[in-house]
Amino acid sequence: MAGQMQAHELQEAVMEEESFGPMPIKRLEASGISASDIKKLEEGGYYTIEAIAFTPKKELITIKGISEAKADKILAEAAKLVPMGFTTATEFHQKRSDIIQLTTGSKELDKLLGGGVETGSITEIFGEFRTGKTQIAHTLAVTCQLPIDHNGGEGKCLYIDTEGTFRPERLLAVAERYGLSGQDVLDNVAYARAYNSDHQTQLLIQASAMMAESRYALLIVDSATALYRTDYSGRGELAARQMHLARFLRLLLRLSDEFGIAVVLTNQVVAQVDGAAMFSADPKKPIGGNIMAHASTTR
């Protein structure tokens, strides 16, 4: 009898754990989706049911072996498992109360941000060189590992570096400040160097696979726009650059919705050289235009 009770409690604990966070895509097998189709979806960069539900049909049918009829069935089954309809403002307010803030290491900056960097959204940090953007990113890579009651996220960090400015030594210095084990802090940061804008987007697909396997609290891209400045040049390629950047930002937003992680982007600035610059107090503005501005929740 006692053994049965323990087994029942264990089953309940497993079910509770599964109900928290994103649902693995393998659960679609119970809804009649074949294992081979699920494997094709994983190869296409979809590892959770939420990822499927948030994706338009035209994206799914680009995956080799997924026909329009299969895409319709997959989306229909995903929609049954992921709530995507209307909800009351009360329920949404309750959901918002579960959001945690990650400390930046500065009390005054945390106060400006309403408690810290918010999970489930994109925060953009822009400025000239030597203004501390990368330093804040390094600090957040450590503070996201702190317990929740210490303004942390109790999770790992993914760090995408596009400029070659990542320094593990800085992480060790911040870890020492918070009394954390330097080795554990380094082990909990997954680092990747991006070499072009296509590679930068590809790394996000790898990141989604890693997030499906382990608990991550933060994704940092430092800097989000550096590679776009060199891969696309002149006004002739401006439209192509903005479309590629928009897809990259949309994928970031999907990851923040899907896994509830905080996304932090650093951004470079450009000097305004037109006639309006003489009337502006600060002629510098962040790169990326309105597409970048609209994607960021906090700027």
User: Per-residue pLDDT for 142 more than 50?
Assistant: yes
The residue ranking higher by pLDDT, 260 or 6, is 260
Q: Position of tokens 């084990």?
A: 181
Q: CB within 8 A of 29, min separation 6: which ones? A: 35, 38
Q: Residues of the chain with pLDDT > 70: what percent?
A: 89
SS (H, E, C) 155-197: CEEEEEECCCCCCHHHHHHHHHHCCCCHHHHHHCEEEEECCCH
177-195 tens-digit pLDDT? 999 999 999 999 999 999 9
Does 192 or 235 have the greater pLDDT score? 192
Q: What is the pLDDT of residue 219?
A: 96
93 has a pLDDT exceeding 50 = yes
What is the secondary structure of 40-86 as a DSSP string?
HHHHTT--BHHHHHTS-HHHHTTSTT--HHHHHHHHHHHHHHS--S-
pTM: 0.84
Categorize the per-residue pLDDT at 275 as very low, low, confident or very high, splitting at 50, 70 and 90: low
Could you give the CA distance from residue 154 to residue 144 in angstroms, rounded to a whole number?
Answer: 6
Residues 123/263, Cβ–Cβ less than 8 Å: yes
**Residue 68 — very low, low, confident or very high, per pLDDT cuts 50/70/90?**
very high
Q: Which two tokens stand for residue 188?
A: 């909990």
- Residue 187's contacts (CB-CB under 8 Å, 6 or more residues apart) are none
Q: Are 218 and 261 in contact (CB under 8 A)?
A: yes
Residue 273: what pLDDT?
Answer: 64
- SS3 at position 98: coil
Q: Given a cut of 50, is residue 17 above it in pLDDT? A: no
